[in-house]
Every structure is written in structure tokens, then in C-alpha cells.
């Protein structure tokens, strides 16, 4: 697999790997059937809505781990509206690109951040403009696949 | 210190043996003649080709050397056997029986034939990857023209009950082909005892060069040519003979056959040591394939909660070459069809690791691999949300 040096660095030395206890928001996306599951934990200041900390756990390939790691780095310090603007493209660019078959990993990273923000918004009873509910509930996803 | 290379992917390809390379070299620069030519200079090349044919026919217990046809490799042999049989026997019927465990060289050829109007039955296998001979017999219909079941599986190493299937095929008068790419020169095979009508093999899987293979085709089976052109290989496979390749494959087969039992015993001892250590020292592991009836150099595991490509990259960092049936390594969204065929759930199939040994591997290397594997599995599980959930659920 042709990975960039940055992807390899984030895979070998993942940043912010772990969990946050009593996180402000948690999002899990992907599904085991496809071989990638990402879980993002956010610690958000309820006053300023600034992301103080972000951690991840990922089941997946090298690119899945690297995009999770990079995504956590990109959102820490941003407020929730800014964090929403962290796209899969931004994650990919920050990693100096991904092989074409791995682009979906960066999409998953974006979705995981969104899912965690959605969880936060639900808990805080706030609306984050432009944020859609996560589409990728793992159990639902699997059921859908089973029916095929 | 330079990282040592530990090559545990011998099912993908093998190192060309130095003796094989040595045997091939004169046929590039000295005996470079086209064996089909008339002059005396061509004779040496021709006799070298025939010598290789004799060696292979002898190892297979074929009735005659002219039952061996040289091809460009295992995939070509598989394509030829299936397509030419389908064409030659279309007037008898258009039904083919194979299994869900086959290599893509068989499965994709079957899909091609389905588009041409043939019907294919893909037999299920059990949890060890075994085809039930009774299911083969039950699938035979009046219009069945061919049964193609692989000798040994490339991923999980399971050796199929070829003798029983061959006997059933013979009893019903149906042709029997076996893809023996992983098995030839790795396990004893006698085509007459096993009632095999056609057998595919590939040179680079047993210490020979790449780009050369053969098809054993029992005399009396009237198949057409697959590659059309000159009259080489009794007009059945056109193209100037790959003399160095044929010489190399013959030499490799000869060397492998001479110490087949010794190699099998050596590999099995090491493989069993590897399996025993992995299963006792790493939790939540499944050993895939048949516990006994399998290639001596194959071990295949599924490590729960982790994904295969990550595992391969981290092994590669330690100089260890291995392979996985995970989707990420295949470039598709689905894990290996073999692992799904033996009933593994997707997430377990994604965490698979295949290690295939050779006689060059040492016990020290196996121990090093297991030690590294233990650390890597712990590391990836720490990262895995599936493992975190599992731990929480079982607290």
C-alpha cells in the first residue's frame, strides 16, 4: 500500500488515541462489515463551545487510523461551528493525500466528528447550524446489509 | 542493524531456488534456439523441454509425458481447462460443478461461462473449508460436463477430498479438473490413483520461475486449443516454448519431489509450533482451516477486534511478510470469499492473517514472529472500539 510519510507517521504514532470519560459528545460511525469503525470522543467547554480535547478509537486499516488521528488534531481548539467545517478533504490534505481506495476512510473521519458533535448538541439541547443527524448507526447499517 | 527479512508469504510466491536459476541460465545465452526449428542447434532446447515434461509426468504418475502441456501459469491452465471443456462438451450439456472456495482464476472463469449460457453450481463448504463429496454427487445432473474442485486452498490450506471426488466423477462419467496450484510439489499427488482428468499447476509456487505452469490433460480428452497459433504442444497451446521457464519449473519440481516428505515434516513441525504458541499466548484467536487435513506450510488465524491491513503494516515494520484476507488488502469492501465461505462473520474475516512457511524458515524466526505478533495484537486492540465494547460487556 502506497501511503504518504504523514499517513505512516499518524498510523505508527497515533495522536489522541484513547477515550474521554464522561465526554461531552461521542460519535461512532462505520461498520464492522466493511472493516472500519471509528469512535470520536469530544470534551467541549459548555460556555464557549470550544473543543478542549478530542480522542479516538478505531478498528480499521492504516488509513482509517491515520485519518482518525489527524481529524482529532484538526478539531482540538476549534469551536463547534469551526469543527463542523473540518471536511474529509481537509483531513486528506493534512495527510498529504490518500490512495484512491482509501478516500472513504477520510469520509468516515468527517462523519465521526459530525456524529460526536450531534451527540453533544442533543445532550446540550442546542442546534448546530448545518449539522445533520448521523446516518451511519452501526446496528442499523448492519441490518440494512443483512436484508440485501 | 539491518532488519532481517522473514518471508512468510510462500503461498503468494516462492523464492526461485538458486539451483533452478543455475539450470535456467544456459537456456538464455547458450541454448537460445527455438525448439521448434529444424537444425541441430534447436535439438538441445527441445530435449530440455521434453526432459522437464518427463519429470513432471513422473511426479504426477501420469501414463504418458505427452499428457503434460506447458502454459503461461496456473491461471492460464485453469482458464483453458474450464473454457475448452465447456466448448468441447457443450453438445453433451452446459452444467459445471465447482465450490465457493476456489481461486478467482476458477470463479471468474465460471462467471464468464455463465454469461455464455453455462450453468454453474457453487458448492458450499463446511467450517473447515471441506467440500462434501456427497454434495458433489448430489449436484451431478445429466447435463453436467465438468467438476472442478481445488486440491488445496490458497488461503486456509485445507486439502480437499480429491480422491473421493475423483471416484464420484469417474462413476458418473463426468470430467474432473483440480486446481493444484498450491498443492503440486507440496503434497504427493497421483493423477491415476485419484482419478484426476485435468490438473493445473504453476512453477513459481514451488521454487520455480514465474510465468510458467502446466496443465495435465489425460489422454483421450479432446479439448481444443486455448491459445491459437503455431503447432507447439501438440497444437493445443501455441507460442514459442519458454525454454528457460520450462527448464526451471522442471528442475524445481525435481528438487521439491526429491525431498517432499522431509520438507513436509519440517514445515509441519514449525507450523504446529507457530499455531500452538499463537493459540495459547494470544487470546480471542481463531485458527482457520482444517486442523489436520491442510498444507504443511499454511497457518491462518483470525484475531478478533483488529483489522488485517493494520496488522500487516506493523508486521512489515519488523521485516515480516505476510498476507490477510481483509477487504483493505484486496481493494474491495468485502473480505476474502474463502473466509466468508467457511462462515466467518465479516468483522472476524477482516482480522485474518495468513502465514505460509518454507523450508528456509527457522524456529528462531517463528518465535520472533510470535513475539512481535503478540505485541502488535495488544497494540491494535488498545486502539479498537470493538475491543473496548467487548471489555465493557464482559466486566
- In tens, the pLDDT along B161-177 reads 999 999 999 999 999 99
For testing the chain A interface, which of B310, B378, B384 should be mutated: the one with the most A CBs within 10 Å? B310
User: Nearest CB to B383: which of A8, A33, A58?
Assistant: A58
Using the structure block, give the residue that is written with the C-alpha cell 503434460: B68
Distance CA B230, CA B36 (A): 10
CA dist B57 and B169 (Å) reads 22
Write the residue in A17, A37, A61 that is nearest to B309 by C-beta: A61
With a CB cutoff of 8 Å and minimum separation 6, the contacts of B267 are B296, B297, B357, B358, B359
CA-nearest residue of chain A to B329?
A: A1
DSSP type of residue B181:
T
User: How many of the other CB atoms lie within 10 Å of CB of A43?
Assistant: 18
Q: What pTM did the predictor assign? A: 0.93
Cell of A141: 447499517
A34 part of the active site: yes
pLDDT digits (tens, 9 = 90+) for B101-144: 999 999 999 999 999 999 999 999 999 999 999 999 999 999 99
**Can you tell me whether residue B157 is helix, strand or coil?**
coil
A-chain residue closest to B344, CA distance: A33
Asked if residue B339 lies in contact with residue B330, where contact means CB atoms within 8 angstroms, the answer is: no
Of the partner residues B313, B346, B384, the one whose CB lies closest to the CB of residue A62: B313
Going by C-alpha positions, the residue among B188, B212, B211, B214 that lies closest to residue B201 is B214
**A40, A60, A64: best mutation site toward chain B, by most B Cβ within 10 Å?**
A60
Rounded-to-10 torsion of CA A45, A46, A50, A54 = 60
Tell me, what's the pLDDT at B347?
87
The answer to whether B307 faces chain A, any CB pair under 8 Å, is yes
Mean pLDDT of chain A: 89
| Residue B45 near residue B241, CB atoms below 8 Å | yes
Ramachandran area for residue A42 (φ above 0: left; ψ -120 to 50: alpha; else beta): beta
Task: Judge whether residue A145 has pLDDT over 60.
Answer: no
Q: Identify all chain A residues contacting B331, using CB atoms and an 8 Å cutoff.
A: 101
Alpha helix segments (H runs only) across chain B: 18-24, 26-29, 40-60, 74-88, 104-115, 133-139, 162-172, 232-235, 243-258, 260-281, 308-317, 327-330, 337-341, 346-349, 363-383, 385-393
- Write the pLDDT tens digit of every residue in A63-96: 999 999 999 999 999 999 999 999 999 999 999 9
Cell of B334: 468485502
**Interface check B331 vs A, CB under 8 A:** yes
Amino acid at each position: 500500500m502506497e501511503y504518504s510519510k504523514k499517513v505512516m507517521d499518524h498510523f505508527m504514532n497515533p495522536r489522541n488515541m484513547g477515550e474521554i470519560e464522561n465526554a461531552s459528545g461521542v460519535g461512532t460511525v462505520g461498520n464492522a462489515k466493511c472493516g472500519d469503525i471509528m469512535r470520536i470522543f469530544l470534551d467541549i467547554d459548555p460556555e464557549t463551545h470550544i473543543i478542549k480535547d478530542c480522542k479516538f478509537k478505531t478498528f480499521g486499516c492504516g488509513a482509517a487510523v491515520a485519518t482518525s488521528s489527524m481529524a482529532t488534531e484538526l478539531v482540538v481548539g476549534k469551536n463547534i461551528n469551526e469543527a463542523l467545517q473540518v471536511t474529509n478533504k481537509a483531513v486528506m490534505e493534512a495527510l498529504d493525500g490518500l490512495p484512491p481506495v482509501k478516500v472513504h476512510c477520510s469520509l468516515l473521519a468527517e462523519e465521526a466528528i459530525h456524529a460526536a458533535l450531534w451527540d453533544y448538541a442533543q445532550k446540550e439541547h442546542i442546534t448546530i447550524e448545518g449539522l445533520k443527524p448521523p446516518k451511519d448507526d452501526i446496528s442499523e447499517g448492519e441490518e440494512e446489509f443483512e436484508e440485501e | 542493524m539491518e532488519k532481517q527479512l522473514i518471508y512468510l508469504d510462500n503461498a503468494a510466491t516462492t523464492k526461485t531456488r538458486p539451483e533452478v536459476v543455475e539450470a535456467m541460465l544456459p537456456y538464455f545465452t547458450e541454448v537460445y534456439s527455438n525448439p521448434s526449428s529444424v537444425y541441430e542447434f534447436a535439438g538441445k532446447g527441445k530435449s530440455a523441454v521434453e526432459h522437464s515434461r518427463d519429470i513432471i509426468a513422473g511426479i504426477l504418475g501420469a501414463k504418458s509425458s505427452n499428457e503434460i502441456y506447458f502454459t503461461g501459469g496456473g491461471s492460464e491452465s485453469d482458464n483453458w481447462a474450464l473454457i475448452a471443456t465447456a466448448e468441447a462438451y457443450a453438445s453433451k450439456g452446459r452444467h459445471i460443478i465447482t465450490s465457493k472456495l476456489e481461486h478467482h482464476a476458477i470463479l471468474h472463469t465460471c462467471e464468464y461461462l455463465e454469461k455464455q449460457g453455462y450453468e454453474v453450481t457453487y458448492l458450499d463448504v463446511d467450517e473447515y473449508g471441506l467440500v462434501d463429496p456427497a454434495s458433489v454427487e448430489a449436484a451431478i445432473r445429466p447435463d453436467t460436463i465438468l467438476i472442478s474442485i481445488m486440491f488445496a486452498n490458497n488461503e486456509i490450506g485445507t486439502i480437499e477430498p480429491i480422491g473421493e471426488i475423483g471416484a464420484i466423477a469417474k462413476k458418473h462419467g463426468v470430467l474432473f479438473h483440480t486446481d493444484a496450484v498450491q498443492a503440486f510439489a507440496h503434497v504427493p499427488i497421483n493423477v491415476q490413483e485419484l482419478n484426476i482428468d485435468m490438473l493445473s499447476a504453476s512453477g513459481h509456487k514451488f521454487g520455480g520461475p514465474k510465468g510458467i505452469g502446466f496443465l495435465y490433460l489425460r489422454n483421450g480428452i479432446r479439448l481444443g486449443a486455448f491459445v491459437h497459433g503455431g503447432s507447439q504442444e501438440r497444437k493445443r497451446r501455441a507460442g514459442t516454448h519458454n525454454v528457460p521457464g520450462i527448464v526451471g519449473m522442471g528442475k524445481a519440481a525435481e528438487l521439491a519431489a526429491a525431498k517432499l516428505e522431509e520438507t513436509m515434516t519440517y514445515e509441519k513441525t514449525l507450523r504446529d509450533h507457530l499455531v500452538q504458541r499463537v493459540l495459547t499466548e494470544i487470546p480471542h484467536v481463531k485458527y482457520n482451516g482444517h486442523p489436520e487435513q491442510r498444507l504443511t506450510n499454511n497457518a491462518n488465524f483470525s484475531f478478533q477486534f483488529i483489522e488485517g491491513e493494520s496488522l500487516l503494516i506493523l508486521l512489515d515494520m519488523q521485516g515480516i511478510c505476510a498476507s490477510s484476507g481483509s477487504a483493505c488488502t484486496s481493494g474491495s469492501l468485502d473480505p476474502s470469499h474463502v473466509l466468508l465461505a467457511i462462515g466467518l462473520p465479516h468483522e472476524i474475516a477482516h482480522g485474518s492473517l495468513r502465514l505460509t512457511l518454507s523450508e528456509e524458515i527457522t524456529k528462531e524466526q517463528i518465535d520472533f514472529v510470535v513475539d512481535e505478533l503478540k505485541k502488535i495484537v495488544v497494540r491494535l486492540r488498545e486502539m479498537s472500539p470493538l475491543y473496548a465494547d467487548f471489555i465493557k460487556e464482559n466486566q
